[in-house]
Amino acid sequence: MKAWRHFKTITHHKWLVLQGCFRVGLYWQGLTHDLSKYSPTEFLVGARYYQGDKSPNSAERREKGYSTAWMHHKGRNRHHYEYWTDLCVETGRYESVPMPRKYLVEMVMDRRAACMTYEGERYTDASAWNYFAKSRERRLMHPELERQLGFLLEMLRDRGEAETFRYLKTNVLTNKSFPWEEHTEE
């Protein structure tokens, strides 16, 4: 029974991301989003630790101290900031690197859909921003990504879905400058 509920949850989430991605023109990413969740490595763990109101990875992490499903997932899905780390030649340490914009947009869709899936009727346009604002993940992101993601989730919170999706499609995906990047000519 948990396997079926987990399947329904991840499929619902994937459907919401697909709808969002299609609205902004990211068709391939909408179709291929989170396919690794259906692999045995992720699906079996997800079914075993299924909770319904939050990611099963957190339950696996509480039990084992780490999540095998999450480690598999983040290494295969470019819309996660953790994917965008590499060994820096200058420092010899792993560091975050900038994320391409099409994955930033998919990340916004992913976070929105995760909140919609887990919060259900309690979801508002502020949900993804609220989660982002209270999480500690921000300090692990590339500073540019943290600022961009924060700006976009704040826009979703304050201006709503229609305006944010329009901005994603016409500004972010066309590589226009973010407001703080705009330079004035003297």
Whether residue 153 is contained in a domain is answered as: yes
Residue 55 CB neighbour total at 10 angstroms:
20
**Amino acid identity at 41:** T
**Residue 186 included in any domain:** no
**Amino acid, single-letter form, for residue 94:** Y
- Total domain count, the chain: 1
CB 82 within 8 A of CB 59: no
25 occurs within a structural domain: yes
Q: What pLDDT is attached to residue 53? A: 87
Q: Is residue 19 part of a domain?
A: yes
Interatomic CA distance for residues 62 and 66, integer angstroms: 7
- Whether 184 is covered by a domain: the verdict is no
Residue 120 lies in a domain: yes
> Is 185 inside a domain boundary?
no
Query: Is 56 a domain residue?
Result: yes
pLDDT at 140 over 70: yes
Task: Render pLDDT for 15-56 as a digit per residue (tens, 0 to 9).
Answer: 999 999 999 999 999 999 999 999 999 999 999 999 988 899
173: left (phi > 0), else alpha (psi -120 to 50), else beta?
alpha
Distance CA 149, CA 141 (A): 10
Q: Does residue 182 carry a pLDDT above 80?
A: no
> Can you give the pTM of this predicted structure?
0.94
* Rounded-to-10 torsion of CA 176, 179, 182, 185: 130
What range defines the domain where residue 51 resides? 2-179
